[in-house]
């Protein structure tokens, strides 16, 4: 039987729900659950970093959750923001010359989710082949053997990610085989680690240019902006030259960094 919802838009689905009172309870429960999740995230971050909630914005290329505490007497602003690795993301913090900015970051991202998927499929292939060859019973509670006990050294090496999950410091492309070595020079910062957290101070709504980019990594202190602008974040990945699709090589990135930003106003 064909799927009756196939080809329907979100509007069609919502109209169907609203037209059927029996479904209102499920919709209400979903909305309550989403609100509860947002409140839980806010509670955890405010407790963890001792900051107050200022803004919650979800969806689109500027998606982020941001918390901020301002000490007017000391002239400091402390902010915690979540940064996703799918392209440039403007954070609602405006700085100017004379300010001092420091960053502390953590989290995990991967800049090649396609390789992760391929490695998982390869591992499953090995498991199926070994289970069949060794007679390993998958659903038997008395079975003590598992396929990975029989992986060869060659198989183990093929399951190591060339572009691994990393923290804000990224990884050295000299140690991990890139897709094309000739693509290295097309990274935002070719001499810095791939996948590392980078930033820019940029005034316009359009994304920053290469010459504005500086490395943040896991931590950077006492950064002094030379121009006024908003703080932008992304990760060090290939920036495509096509203006219609500059994030072509960011589309397969996954994960999140959180960044603690302290601004001391000059």
pLDDT confidence bin for 240, thresholds 50/70/90: confident
Residue that wins the pLDDT comparison between 41 and 257: 257
pLDDT confidence bin for 70, thresholds 50/70/90: confident
CB proximity list for 206: less than 8 A, separation 6 or greater: none
Q: Which residues of 67-95 are buried (b: 16+ CB within 10 A; e: fewer)?
A: bbbbeeeeeebbbbbbbbbbbbbbbebeb
- Look at residue 2 and tell me whether its pLDDT is greater than 70: no
Whole-number pLDDT of residue 10: 47
| Strand-pair partners of 90 | 232
Mean pLDDT of the chain: 82
The pLDDT tens digits for 202-225 are 998 888 988 999 999 999 998 999
Whole-number pLDDT of residue 60: 45
Looking at the chain, the domain(s) classified CATH 2.60.120.430 span 54-112+166-264
Whole-number pLDDT of residue 58: 46
The top-scoring range by mean pLDDT among 21-25, 33-37, 229-233 is 229-233
CATH of 54-112+166-264, one of 2.60.120.430, 3.30.420.40, 3.90.1200.10, 3.90.400.10: 2.60.120.430
HSE-up (13 A, CA, CB side) for residue 84: 18
What pTM was estimated for this model as a whole? 0.74
Lowest mean pLDDT among 34-48, 127-141, 172-186, 188-202: 34-48
Whole-number pLDDT of residue 68: 79
Q: How is residue 2 written in tokens?
A: 């064909």
Q: How far apart are CA 234 and CA 196, in angstroms?
A: 9
The pLDDT tens digits for 110-153 are 999 999 999 999 999 999 999 999 999 988 999 999 999 999 99
- Look at residue 31 and tell me whether its pLDDT is greater than 60: no
Whole-number pLDDT of residue 15: 55
- Look at residue 100 and tell me whether its pLDDT is greater than 70: yes
């Amino acid at each position: 039987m064909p799927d009756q919802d196939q080809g329907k838009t979100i509007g069609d689905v919502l109209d169907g729900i609203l037209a059927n009172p029996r479904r209102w309870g499920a919709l209400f429960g979903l909305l309550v659950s989403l609100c509860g999740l947002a409140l839980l995230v806010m509670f955890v971050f405010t407790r963890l970093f001792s900051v107050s909630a200022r803004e919650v914005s979800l969806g689109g290329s500027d998606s982020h959750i941001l918390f901020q505490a301002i000490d007017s007497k000391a002239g400091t602003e402390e902010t915690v923001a979540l940064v996703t690795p799918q392209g440039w993301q403007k954070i609602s913090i405006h700085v100017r010359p004379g300010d001092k900015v420091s960053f502390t970051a953590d989290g995990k991202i991967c800049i090649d989710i396609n390789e992760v998927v391929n490695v998982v499929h390869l591992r499953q292939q090995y498991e199926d082949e070994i289970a069949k060859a060794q007679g390993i019973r998958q659903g038997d509670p008395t079975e003590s053997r598992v396929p990975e006990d029989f992986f060869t050294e060659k198989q183990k090496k093929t399951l190591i990610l060339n572009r691994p999950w990393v923290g804000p410091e990224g990884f050295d492309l000299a140690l991990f085989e890139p897709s094309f070595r000739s693509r290295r020079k097309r990274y935002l910062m070719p001499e810095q680690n791939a996948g590392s957290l980078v930033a820019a101070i940029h005034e316009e709504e359009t994304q920053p240019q290469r010459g504005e980019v500086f490395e943040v990594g896991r931590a950077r202190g006492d950064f002094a902006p030379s121009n006024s602008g908003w703080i932008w974040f992304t990760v060090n990945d290939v920036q495509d030259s096509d203006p219609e699709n500059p994030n072509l090589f960011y589309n397969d990135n996954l994960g999140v960094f959180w960044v603690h930003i302290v601004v001391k106003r000059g």
